[in-house]
Structure 1
Amino acid sequence: MLVRLTPRQRFEILVSQYEPQLRKAFLDAIDDIRSNIVLRRVVERLERGDINGAVRAMNLDEAAFRPLDEAIRQALNGGGVAAVEQISTLRDPEGHQIVVRWDARNLAAEAWLREQSTTLVTNIIEDQREAIRTALEDGLARGDNPTRTALDVVGRINRATGKREGGLIGLTTAQSEYVARARQELLSGEPDRLRHYLTRGRRDKRFDRAVLKSIESGKPLTVETVTRIVGRYSDGLLKLRGDTIALHETFQSMAAAKDIAFRQQIEKGNLQAQHVTKTWKHTPQKNPREDHVEMQGQKVQFDQPFIAPDGTAIPYPHAPGVPARHTVGCKCYAEYKIDFVAQLVM
């Protein structure tokens, strides 16, 4: 027996398909950057006190993120194809089926993709450079030698895998600060600060016993042990960054594709805007936004925005220009419906 999927089920299938691809694309880009760093060049510039030169030597450029651009494009196109399936039953007043296709080369689709990819990659690189510059300056200022300072940023090579681990490449400025504070806590030898480290959600709990032993014995952790602990903590934060970007970009792509797909058909004259409504759908999750819970079921015409309780006008969930408080980590989506009877008699 053929089971008809609900709009939510169809949406969840799309997310489950494209979110892992986006996560992998981001992490692959970071791995590519780390793998191509020549440590000697970074250290030489640090020895001359050339912080900016050391940052440039890490080759943080847009080309490394081309796989992420491609993953976003695939997500947009996948969402667009899925969206037109909902419109594929359209018929003209004579009852003939209207041919409906997703046009990936549509100006609106290309403009969205270009703007989204450029903004995302630019923000990642600029934030990354700032975080690295700060970490290098702080490392040298506290008396670490250039090699240790560089390794704390670019990561250390795992002899088993041949790849760099730990470091700050790929982390946000805020996450880089978390790593710096975690290192300070572990090196301090102070029980209260060591206990605070044990509250960090992204720490590698396999090292908790060593930290507890340090607290109980009063003996500080060795620098080598701290380096290993901090490296794994950094890896946990990088995974979180990948998860966050993948979720955000997938939902943005799916939402934009649906809106653009309907606009394409309206522009072609296949569909009338007044016959389309959109309904806000909230996805239950831990620590939900109360504003979005309250918006569940809010219905508006296609060309009208949703209105959040705080007064924010939202064209559709994850729309460009909407404040981050309504987008980052959000799993809401809009369900579009066509009044086929009214559309048929036009």
Structure 2
Amino acid sequence: MTFDELLQQYDPRVAAAFRAAIANIKSHIVLKAIVERLERGDISGAVSAVQFEPEAFAELELALSEAFNAGGVNMVQSLPAVVAPDGTRVLWHFGVRNLEAERLLREQLVTLVTNITADQQQSLRLGFEGGLAKGQNPTRTALDVIGRVNRITGKREGGYIGLTSRQVEFIDRAKANLLAGDVEGMRAYLDLKTRDKRFDRTVAKAIREGRPVEAEMVRKIIMRLSDKNLLLRGQTIGLEETRTALLTARDNAIRQQIGAGKITEQEVLKIWKHSGSEHPRMQHVEMAARYKAQGIPLEQPFVAGDGTLMMYPHAPGVPARHRIGCKCRVEYDIDYLAAGLRRYRARAA
């Protein structure tokens, strides 16, 4: 199975696990509990009442754990058979219970879930505080933040649950522009990729007439905008976190072979491979060209044009500007002949 096939298999699972976690959180929200806290001005209490907690993402963690394991197993399965002169065959294995593998996986899971929950707490707080500051009553403020129940499906739609604080900010800005009749702001809304195009004619008409969009229509527009942004958030997490799990496991799989003495660090070179995407990062294109002719040692980082050091694409600690949307990968060039001869000589000695 190729890397792309692994990505196609696990990316949807991870995205679906995130959506399932958010849907479960939404389904257990008790509106009355939130409203009562807002009536008392207890913002922290209202945030806590949403119960957006790390434990809700157990299914997401499981999906990523499976992707990590599959990435490591696939890496060792792709390694060719190595037979020493005495006929001894090298067996490649990947252990997900390897201490370093466990640490890397745990680090990814903890970082992801911590970031999701911390950012959501901030989004909820901003939403509740902002609604009350505008003079809205507690019930409307709560519904704007947690979403409204669709009478047909029985599920909550819209709201901020599951969105990043940045998404919440630009959705709020779009809402304000539509309600104020800000022509430039409404034109900006029509450029959003996550908008529901069924409302375009309504917004375009308001722009021509130089007036605000009716409040009830804005509520529907923003609800759909929120839902589409939640879908995008899930897709982004699916792609980025699955790539991170697969690439991290592949790197660890090579290091496990070194730890087992089957190859040495000196017998491994790594090569940065650019994806050839339609809108590439030129720094990544340049790195692929620079390291194409000759790989670099396993322990040497790749160096981007801005000085960023990366052990491999999507490695832990790589900043978002080099990570989000990056489709690059790394290939490992192993001197199998040297490895086989070394093992043969060691046995003969």
Short-chain TM bin: over 0.9
Which of 307, 312, 317 lines up with 2:308 in the alignment? 312
Which of 95, 100, 110 lines up with 1:103 in the alignment? 95
Q: Which residue of 1 is the match for residue 270 of structure 2?
A: 278
Cα deviation digits, residues 224-274 of structure 1 (max 9, x gap): 211110010111111111111111111111111111111111111111221
Report the 3-state secondary structure (helix = DSSP H, G, I; strand = E; otherwise coil) of the residue aligned with 2:266: helix
- State the TM-score, normalized to the length of structure 1: 0.94
Deviation at 1:182, TM superposition (A): 1.0
Q: Distance in 2 between matches of 1:262 and 1:148?
A: 55
Counterparts of 1:142-291 in structure 2, within 5 Å, are: 142-218=134-210, 220-291=212-283
C-alpha contact 2:18 2:57 (8 A) present in aligned 1: yes
C-alpha contact 2:262 2:339 (8 A) present in aligned 1: no
Q: Distance in 2 between matches of 1:192 and 1:100?
A: 60
Q: Which residue of 1 is the match for residue 299 of structure 2?
A: 303
Cα deviation digits, residues 261-291 of structure 1 (max 9, x gap): 1111111111122111111001122321111
Cα deviation digits, residues 63-100 of structure 1 (max 9, x gap): 11111111110110010110011235133452321222
Q: Which residue of 2 is the match for residue 34 of structure 1?
A: 26
Report the 3-state secondary structure (helix = DSSP H, G, I; strand = E; otherwise coil) of the residue aligned with 1:345: helix
Deviation at 1:309, TM superposition (A): 2.2
In structure 1, stretches of 5+ residues that fail to align are none
Report the 3-state secondary structure (helix = DSSP H, G, I; strand = E; otherwise coil) of the residue aligned with 2:89: coil
C-alpha contact 2:83 2:89 (8 A) present in aligned 1: yes
C-alpha contact 1:88 1:99 (8 A) present in aligned 2: no
Deviation at 1:151, TM superposition (A): 0.7
C-alpha contact 1:272 1:343 (8 A) present in aligned 2: yes
Which of 304, 328, 334 lines up with 2:330 in the alignment? 334
> Across the two proteins, how many residue pairs are aligned to each other?
338
Greater mean alpha carbon deviation, residues 57-66 or residues 154-163: 154-163
C-alpha contact 1:165 1:235 (8 A) present in aligned 2: yes
Q: Which residue of 1 is the match for residue 35 of structure 2?
A: 43
C-alpha contact 2:269 2:334 (8 A) present in aligned 1: yes
Deviation at 1:319, TM superposition (A): 1.0
Counterparts of 1:80-99 in structure 2, within 5 Å, are: 80-87=72-79, 89-99=81-91
Q: Distance in 2 between matches of 1:162 and 1:88?
A: 54
Report the 3-state secondary structure (helix = DSSP H, G, I; strand = E; otherwise coil) of the residue aligned with 2:331: strand
Question: RMSD over aligned Cα, in angstroms?
Answer: 1.5
Q: Distance in 2 between matches of 1:156 and 1:322?
A: 38
Deviation at 1:217, TM superposition (A): 4.1
